[in-house]
Amino acid sequence: MKGLIITNNPIVSEKFGNEYRVEYVDQSFEDLLARVRDFVHKGYVILTHPLSGSIKPKETPYKSVLLSEVPLLTGVEGESLKLIENSIIKAKAFEDKTNNLSESVLNDFRLIDLSLLESAL
């Protein structure tokens, strides 16, 4: 199964850049979810949960979401739209705690985001 990965995690981009279509966005967690929604509006289907992992939104800056490789010809998929809208609402409820994270913590967060995605690939 191939697909489109939308990520702001550089190690995901590095690891899967050749195998998958990777859209690397150097943006915040919430901006990344908005980017996923843009693709859903184009007819792409979400394949992994946008709020995967128990590290809460904006506690980790990193997120990677797998979408279908190509958009549906029939237009927007309702379930994907509901999922991303709900995820954006949920993410907004959290305070941003990503300032002042040390490099070692950021490294752990990148690794965990990578492994959550890998568990689905």
By CB under 8 A, residue 117 contacts other proteins: yes
Q: How many CB atoms lie within 10 A of CB 100?
A: 6
Give whichever of 16 and 109 is closer to other proteins, judged by the CB atom.
Answer: 109
Nearest residue to 49 (alpha-carbon basis) of 16, 19, 86, 104:
86
Nearest approach in angstroms of CB 74 to other proteins is 18
Residue numbers 40-99 binding other proteins by CB under 8 A: 46-49, 51-57, 59-60, 66, 83, 86-87, 89-90, 92-95, 97, 99
Tokens of 108: 């752990």
Residues near other proteins (CB under 8 A), total: 41
Does 17 interact with other proteins (rule: CB under 8 A)? no
How far apart are CB 92 and other proteins at their closest, in Å? 8
Show the tokens assigned to 117.
């995605």
Q: Compute, in degrees rounded to 10, the torsion defined by CA atoms 103, 92, 46, 4.
A: -40
Cβ-count burial 9-22 (b if 16+ within 10 Å, e if not)? beebbebbeeebeb
Q: Which residues bind other proteins (CB under 8 A)?
A: 46-49, 51-57, 59-60, 66, 83, 86-87, 89-90, 92-95, 97, 99-102, 104-105, 107-109, 111-112, 115-120
